[in-house]
């Protein structure tokens, strides 16, 4: 009798658990491509245009610094030749040698200035990229979350993230569960009108600016024989 009662209780508990599980709504999973949304956001395109302008400005400034450095090198060579010219007096050769030594110090300072400018430019651009990317992904994620909630989703997954072998973690997703296009329409609803043809700068392409490399990295260093770099 006691055993039968325990069996009935166990069956009742199991039945209640089964009813509870059945009462829970089935999970609804949606997917979104955050990388595509980031690249396609009109604000990203605007930021890319600003970055390109900053790169161009940095290139022009670096060219100016290098021209100044080249002028110093030319002056150093002239003074060095004068210091070895037997046609000049001993005092004149000595003065030229002293001036050449001072010129090497100016060249070294200019080398330091160029290196510092390159490093600071790279750091500044990288920080701008990171700050912008973090803010944009936060904004896009919030909009995507709101849309997913409106659709009754219990889980929203970003399908853009690569796996350990560098490919998408999602081999296949049913397009009906992908809300990327809907989110794209919302984030670009305030896109300003494109400028008329021939007016203003060309339309920016939606390149991801995370890979921006400051143009300063390709610029030649100021060098002169016998003068160490800094």
Q: Residue 35: give the domain boundaries.
A: 27-191+205-218
What pLDDT is recorded for position 162? 76
Inside any domain, residue 160: yes
**Domains: count for the chain:** 1
Inside any domain, residue 1: no
What pLDDT is recorded for position 211? 40
More confident residue, 6 or 52: 52
Inside any domain, residue 20: no
Average pLDDT over residues 186-196: 86
Percentage of residues in the chain with pLDDT exceeding 90?
63
Across the chain, mean pLDDT equals: 80
What is the per-residue burial (b if ≥16 Cβ within 10 Å, else e) of 121-134?
Answer: bbeebeebbeebbe
What pLDDT is recorded for position 200? 42
Return the minimum-mean-pLDDT range out of 1-10, 43-52, 159-168, 179-188.
Answer: 1-10
Confidence category of residue 15, pLDDT binned at 50, 70, 90: low
Inside any domain, residue 111: yes
Inside any domain, residue 7: no
Model-wide pTM > 0.75: no
Confidence category of residue 206, pLDDT binned at 50, 70, 90: very low
Inside any domain, residue 11: no
Inside any domain, residue 226: no
**Which of 85, 105, 118 lies closest to 219, judged by CA?**
118
Inside any domain, residue 14: no
């Amino acid at each position: 009798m006691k055993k039968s009662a325990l069996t009935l209780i166990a069956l009742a508990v199991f039945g209640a658990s089964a009813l509870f599980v059945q009462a829970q709504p089935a999970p609804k999973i949606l997917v979104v491509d955050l990388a595509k949304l980031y690249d396609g956001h009109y604000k990203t395109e605007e930021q890319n245009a600003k970055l390109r302008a900053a790169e161009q400005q940095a290139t022009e400034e670096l060219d100016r610094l290098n021209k100044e450095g080249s002028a110093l090198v030319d002056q150093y060579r002239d003074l060095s030749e004068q210091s070895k010219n037997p046609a000049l007096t001993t005092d004149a050769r000595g003065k030229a040698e002293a001036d050449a030594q001072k010129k090497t110090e100016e060249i070294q300072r200019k080398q330091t200035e160029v290196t510092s400018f390159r490093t600071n430019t790279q750091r500044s651009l990288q920080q701008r990229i990171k700050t912008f990317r973090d803010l944009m992904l936060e904004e896009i994620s919030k909009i995507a979350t709101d849309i997913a909630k409106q659709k009754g989703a219990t889980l929203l997954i970003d399908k853009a993230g690569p796996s350990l072998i560098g490919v998408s973690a999602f081999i296949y997703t049913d397009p009906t569960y992908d809300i990327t296009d809907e989110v794209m329409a919302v984030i670009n609803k305030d896109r300003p009108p494109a400028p008329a043809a021939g007016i203003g700068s060309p339309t920016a392409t939606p390149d991801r600016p995370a890979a921006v490399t400051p143009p300063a990295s390709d610029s030649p260093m100021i060098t002169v024989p016998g003068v160490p770099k800094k």
